[in-house]
């Protein structure tokens, strides 16, 4: 852990839960004031990517996906984990193709964002993909319940946001970063 004057010092760490998808720890930490918190919980998730992709006609590639934790179909962007030694750009290219059937060779990293850095070790990389072309059928993972891909004109984004159609922090953040003038 960091040892500068404003950091917290970890005294100990106990693993509460450990799977390939999530680890949960209970840490004992000493605050800069000297106070000790002996049950500070931290979750660690694999890093991921969120892709803001547009096709050759400048339509946003988006879809509805069932999200178990909230038991709803939610409008979302292509996204996923970073496998092995992949870079965020490589992961984005792979996930875009797997989830939508679209391919883009114009990918750019817009941001590297912490999700909830007080309690969660996890980084989302926001990737912008331009001029994507439909080249193959979709190949969803067994755990994915993805609806049909939708193509939304970028000029419609502000109206959809104002109508409450976007309701997740990652979606809103990624679109706002990619299209600040249209959001």
Contact 8, 29 (CB under 8 A): yes
Q: Is residue 113 packed enough to be buried (19+ CB in 10 Å), middle (13-18) or exposed (0-12)?
A: middle
Pairing of strands 79-81, 102-103: unpaired
CATH number of 48-182: 3.90.79.10
9-57, pLDDT tens digit by residue?
999 999 999 999 999 999 999 999 999 999 999 999 999 999 999 999 9
Ramachandran category for residue 137: left, alpha or beta (phi over 0 → left; psi -120 to 50 → alpha): beta
Alpha-carbon separation of residue 73 from 68, 104, 148, 160 (angstroms): 9, 26, 12, 16
Please report, for the chain, the start and end positions of each structural domain, with discontinuous segments joined by +.
9-44, 48-182
- pTM of the complete model: 0.89
Q: Where are the beta strands (DSSP E) in the chain?
A: 9-18, 23-30, 36-44, 48-55, 59-67, 72-76, 79-81, 102-103, 106-114, 120-121, 123-134, 146-153
111-169, pLDDT tens digit by residue?
999 999 999 999 999 999 999 999 998 867 777 778 889 999 999 999 999 999 899 99
């Amino acid at each position: 852990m960091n040892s500068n004057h404003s950091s917290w010092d970890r005294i100990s760490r106990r693993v509460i839960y450990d799977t390939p998808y999530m680890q949960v720890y209970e840490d004992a930490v000493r605050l800069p004031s000297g106070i000790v918190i002996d049950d500070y919980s931290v979750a660690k998730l694999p890093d991921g990517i969120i892709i803001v992709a547009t096709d050759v006609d400048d339509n946003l590639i988006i879809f509805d996906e069932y999200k178990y934790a909230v038991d709803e179909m939610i409008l979302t962007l292509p996204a996923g984990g970073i496998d092995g030694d992949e870079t965020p750009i490589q992961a984005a290219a792979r996930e875009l193709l797997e989830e939508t059937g679209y391919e883009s060779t114009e990918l750019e990293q817009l941001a590297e964002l912490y999700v909830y850095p007080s309690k969660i070790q996890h980084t989302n990389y926001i990737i912008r993909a331009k001029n994507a072309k439909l080249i193959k059928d979709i190949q969803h993972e067994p755990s994915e319940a993805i609806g049909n891909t939708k193509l939304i004109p970028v000029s419609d984004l502000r109206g959809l946001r104002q109508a409450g159609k976007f309701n997740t922090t990652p979606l809103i953040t990624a679109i706002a970063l990619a299209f600040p003038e249209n959001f």
